[in-house]
Amino acid sequence: MTWLVWRQYRLQAAAAAVLLAGFAAVMVVSGLQMASQWHSMLGSCTSGGGQSSCAEMPLGNAIGHDFEVLSVIVPAILGIFLGAPLVASEIENGTNQYAWTQTVTRTRWLTIKAGWLLLAAAVWGGAVAALVTWWSGPRNALYGDAFQPNYFDVQGIVPVGYAVFATSLGIAAGALLRRTVAAIAVVLGVFIGLRLVIDDLVRQHFMPAVTSYMGFLSTPGTLARSWVLATGIAGPNGRPLPQNPGGGDTFNGVPVASLPHACQELITQVSRQATIAGDRCLDAAGYRLYDTYQPANRYWAFQGIETGVFVALAAVLLAVTYTVVRRRDA
């Protein structure tokens, strides 16, 4: 069976190896350039204006960055080209009828095919993720944004989870629909849809977010590398004041009109004294600044949870595939 899988997929394996080698070449060359740029920057800009003057500087070249962004679609491609045809193209060609009437049981046939391909998807997705993670090292150190959506999704171990999930999705869709092109469409739609839902709505609730309050006059603490979900002003009762995303006169995102009347005039003036007086006024009235965030030290916990969610979904899809393949008439 293992020999059969190799014979069926050696062309895809060669194509995948060539693509991976090309990707690796670009990322290694671009990454070495960026690392040396980063080290020369560290020497000069930290001695000048501190870390903050570094953070406004561009780092890395355009092609490396384009490849980093493109790597977000790698799991979908694995689902399309490895997952979707696995069962569907055998049924389309009728070769499953031959395979299912040999001494190898259907369960074993599916286990070995799916097992090897899932392993290949995990290795390929993991190799791309490892290259992107290494490439991003200096940028993560400079901008501290590895926890932000889009950067989180292409680094660490989550791309492996996505790759395993997308491939399982392709296998299950192919087993259910029996048509390769239809299965490919399902992979694209469901994978992108589910990733968006988890990215936008679910991930921020993996653990209860931390909210920290501070006075208007205190030096703001640093939230470097954390994933800041919300910032604003909390009223004397501790509740966040509603924000106004529609522009107009706002102070830390809150409409000036909803702050105490006594402070309003001070806030809207531009002089430094008035600003400090305005801050004092808000402090005295019991208002506080707040940040709601996921602390930086939860990065790997979040990577683990997200990977776990997608691997668990992959397991469910594979269980569905086993049921479908077992019950299908040959």
Partner 1 sequence: MSAMTWIFWRQYRAQAAIAGTLLAALAALLVITGVQVASQWHSALAACTASHSCGNLSSTLFLGSHAVGFLVIMTLGVPAVVGMLLGAPLLAQEFEAGTSQFAWTQSITRRRWLAAKAGWLLLAAAAVGGVVSGLVTWWSGPDNALQANAFDPGRFDIMGIAPVGYAVFAAALGITAGALLRRTLPAIGLTLAGFIAIRSVIYILVRPHFLTPVTSYFPLGSGFSPAGSGWQLASGFVGASGQPISTPQSTSGQVISGPGVSIPVSSLPAPCQAAAGNGPFTRATYHAVVSCAQAHGIRGYVTYQPASRYWAFQGIETGIFVLLAAVLIAVTFVVISRRDA
Residue 43, interface with partner 1 (CB under 8 A)?
yes
Size of the site for partner 1 (CB under 8 A): 35
Interface pick for partner 1 out of 245, 270, 297, 327 (rule CB under 8 A): 245
Position 265 contacts partner 1 (CB under 8 A): no
Interface of this chain with partner 1, residues 60 to 99, rule: CB under 8 A: 62, 66, 70, 77, 80-81, 85, 89, 92
214 is an interface residue for partner 1 by CB under 8 A: no
Q: DSSP letters along 209-232, please?
A: PEEEEE-SSSPPPP-TTSEEEEEE
Nearer to partner 1, 57 or 228 (CB): 57
Around 85, how many Cα atoms within 13 Å sit in the side-chain half-sphere?
A: 13
Among 48, 94, 208, 220, binds partner 1 (CB under 8 A): 48
Q: Where does this chain touch partner 1 (CB under 8 A) — which range of 24-32, 35-43, 213-221, 321-329?
A: 35-43
SS3 for 43?
helix
- Tokens coding 101: 């009437």
What span, in angstroms and rounded, lies between the C-alpha atoms of 244 and 136?
Answer: 35
Is residue 143 near partner 1 by the rule CB under 8 A? Answer: no
Q: Are 195 and 166 in contact (CB under 8 A)?
A: no
Phi and psi (nearest 5°) for 228? -80, 125
CB of 141 to partner 1, least distance (A): 15
User: Rule CB under 8 A: is residue 146 a binding residue for partner 1?
Assistant: no
Distance CA 59, CA 51 (A): 14
- Cα-trace Rg, the chain: 26
Encoded tokens for 227: 């994933």
Residue 15 in contact with partner 1, rule: CB under 8 A: yes
Burial 2-39 (b: 16+ CB within 10 A, else e): eeebeebbeeeeeebeeebeebeeebeebbeebeebbe
Candidate ranges 51-59, 157-165, 296-304, 306-314; the one touching partner 1 (CB under 8 A) = 51-59
Range 5-10, long-range pairs (CB < 8 A, 24+ positions): 5/112, 5/113, 5/116, 5/117, 9/82, 9/116, 9/117, 9/120
Two tokens, residue 299: 């990065």
**With respect to partner 1, which residue has the nearer C-beta, 12 or 111?**
12
Q: Which two tokens stand for residue 77?
A: 């491609």
CB under 8 A: which stretch of 57-65, 126-134, 154-162, 305-313 binds partner 1? 57-65
- Closer to partner 1 by CB, 188 or 282: give it: 188
The verdict on 228 binding partner 1 (CB under 8 A) reads no
Q: Shortest gap between Cβ of 20 and partner 1 (angstroms)?
A: 14
Q: Which is nearer to partner 1, 220 or 248 (CB)?
A: 248
Q: Which stretch binds partner 1 (CB under 8 A): 39-47, 233-241, 294-302, 319-327?
A: 39-47
The phi, psi pair for 296, rounded to 5°, reads -60, -30
The least CB distance from residue 13 to partner 1, in Å, is 14
Smallest distance from the beta carbon of 174 to partner 1, in angstroms? 11
Beta bridge partners of 290: 213, 232
Residue 47 engages partner 1 in binding (rule: CB under 8 A): yes
- Residue ranges that bind partner 1, judged by CB under 8 A: 15, 40-41, 43-45, 47-49, 54, 57-58, 62, 66, 70, 77, 80-81, 85, 89, 92, 180-181, 184-185, 188, 192, 196, 200, 245-250
